């Protein structure tokens, strides 16, 4: 049994469904007056964030605390990393304190995998560079499933800065695992190199034309708008913000066309949103928007991931005949 969650590709359909089922019962805990279960008492989870984050870090922290694990937050600023300690030394130092899990976000793609080879504890990838963000894909799947049931055959469109998006990479994998049909849309400059080969092997569609996808034969069940990552760009991907919005932003007019085709269409955004750039402010607050459901699902899904990775440490089998 693997102890880590590095890539969405690590998860079989059965794994994803187990996690989502557990997340439902975690969501029940979240709605209770006493939001605490003793399941991970005595376990320690370190959130190591080399990059800024609001929702991922706080939801991992809340998830750990509600499961009664001790959670500790470290950031690059204020840790020995700012004194020049290498990632390997930092990871091994933390591991030597006998923690049970390391939740890591790092600006280098592959950092989580690398760290998992150096430590004994479980490693959970909370975003590595432009590579993957598996728990985001799980919470997006949870949000979609709670609104539309099974995802088999559903058409999900992912729009935006695909080149720099780990959310896109993990989401394509998890959505395909659950049987959804995926179309990805981006301006040519933000379409990652090699996407054609990947789309052929994994069976998703690519397009440069958002309006053609909206008006296409295949009605859209969910629109996932990605953030334009200004901090990752040194410019040159598109002329102006206005031009991006005209070509690829989810405007009210585009939403109206989507609703006309499918009244139950959902609008998603992993956050943080650039209102007025990739998504119009009124669309973000429209009844079709499930942006806050995604945040709320984040805690439940991360509780479920911690539970599946940490609750049953040894793979010892239940003795034959064991019953309550």
Partner 1 sequence: MTCPEPTAPATVPQIPPDARDVMVADDISRALRRIGHEIIERNKGAADLVVLGIPSRGVPLAERLAAAISQVEGIDVPVGQLDVTLYRDDLRRQPTRAAGRTDIPAGGIDDKVVVLVDDVLYSGRTIRAALDALAELGRPRAVRLAVLVDRGHRELPIRADHVGKNLPTSREERVHVRLAEVDGADAVRISGGERR
Query: What are the residue numbers of the active site?
Result: 55-56, 83, 105, 133
* Rounded least distance, CB 304 to partner 1, Å: 8
**Residue 103 in tokens:** 């939740």
* Rounded least distance, CB 184 to partner 1, Å: 26
Residues with Cβ within 8 Å of residue 226, at least 6 apart in sequence: 158, 159, 160, 161, 162, 165, 167, 168, 269, 270, 278
Strand, coil or helix: what is 179? coil
Q: Nearer Cβ to partner 1, position 5 or 280?
A: 5
Residues with Cβ within 8 Å of residue 26, at least 6 apart in sequence: 63, 299, 300, 301, 303, 304, 307
**Residue 125 in tokens:** 């990838």
* Rounded least distance, CB 284 to partner 1, Å: 31
Confirm whether residue 323 is marked as ligand binding: no
**Residue 97 in tokens:** 């304190």
Q: Nearer Cβ to partner 1, position 40 or 226?
A: 40
Confirm whether residue 239 is marked as ligand binding: no
Radius of gyration, CA atoms only, the chain: 20
Note whether 222 and 156 are within 8 A (CB). yes
Confirm whether residue 43 is marked as ligand binding: no
Q: Nearer Cβ to partner 1, position 18 or 53?
A: 18
* Start-end of H helices in the chain: 13-30, 55-66, 87-96, 111-116, 134-148, 166-177, 195-202, 210-214, 241-248, 252-261, 281-284, 291-310
* Rounded least distance, CB 300 to partner 1, Å: 11
Confirm whether residue 133 is marked as ligand binding: yes
Triad 264, 269, 270: Cα angle to 5°: 135
Q: Nearer Cβ to partner 1, position 96 or 311?
A: 311
* Rounded least distance, CB 313 to partner 1, Å: 5
Distance CA 254, CA 249 (A): 9
Q: Nearer Cβ to partner 1, position 212 or 311?
A: 311
Strand, coil or helix: what is 46? strand
Confirm whether residue 249 is marked as ligand binding: no
Confirm whether residue 302 is marked as ligand binding: no
Residue ranges that bind partner 1, judged by CB under 8 A = 1-5, 10-12, 14-15, 18-19, 21-22, 24-26, 28-29, 32, 34, 36-39, 67, 304-305, 307-309, 311-318, 320-324
Q: Name the binding residues for L-aspartate.
A: 83, 166, 227
Q: Name the binding residues.
A: 55-56, 83, 105, 133, 136, 166, 227, 271-272
Q: Name the binding residues for carbamoyl phosphate.
A: 55-56, 105, 133, 136, 271-272
């Amino acid at each position: 049994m693997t102890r880590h969650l590095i890539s969405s590709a690590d998860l079989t359909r059965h794994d994803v469904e187990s996690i989502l089922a557990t997340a439902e019962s975690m969501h029940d805990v979240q709605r209770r007056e006493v939001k605490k279960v003793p399941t991970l008492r005595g376990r320690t989870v370190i959130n190591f964030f080399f990059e800024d984050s609001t929702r991922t870090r706080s939801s991992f922290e809340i998830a750990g605390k509600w499961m009664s694990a001790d959670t500790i937050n470290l950031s690059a600023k204020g840790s020995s990393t700012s004194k020049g300690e290498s990632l390997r030394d930092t990871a091994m130092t933390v591991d030597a304190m006998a923690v049970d899990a390391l939740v890591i976000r790092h600006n280098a793609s592959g950092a989580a995998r690398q760290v998992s080879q150096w430590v004994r504890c479980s490693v959970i990838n909370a975003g590595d560079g432009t590579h993957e963000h598996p728990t985001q894909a799980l919470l997006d799947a949870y949000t979609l499933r709670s609104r539309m049931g099974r995802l088999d055959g559903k058409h999900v469109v992912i729009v935006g800065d695909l080149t720099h998006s780990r959310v896109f990479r993990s989401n394509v994998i998890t959505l395909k695992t659950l049987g959804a049909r995926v179309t990805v849309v981006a301006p040519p400059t933000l379409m990652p190199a090699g996407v054609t080969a990947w789309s052929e092997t994994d069976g998703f569609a690519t397009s440069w034309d958002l309006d053609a996808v909206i008006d296409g034969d295949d009605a859209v069940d969910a629109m996932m708008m990605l953030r334009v990552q200004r901090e990752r760009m040194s410019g040159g991907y598109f002329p102006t913000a206005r031009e991006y919005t005209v070509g690829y932003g989810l405007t009210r007019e585009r939403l109206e066309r989507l609703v006309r085709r499918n009244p139950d269409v959902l609008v998603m955004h992993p956050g943080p949103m650039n209102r007025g750039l990739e998504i119009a402010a009124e669309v973000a607050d429209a009844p079709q928007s499930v942006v806050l459901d995604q945040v709320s699902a984040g805690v439940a899904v991360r509780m479920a991931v911690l539970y599946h990775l940490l609750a049953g440490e040894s793979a010892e089998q239940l003795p034959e005949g064991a019953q309550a």
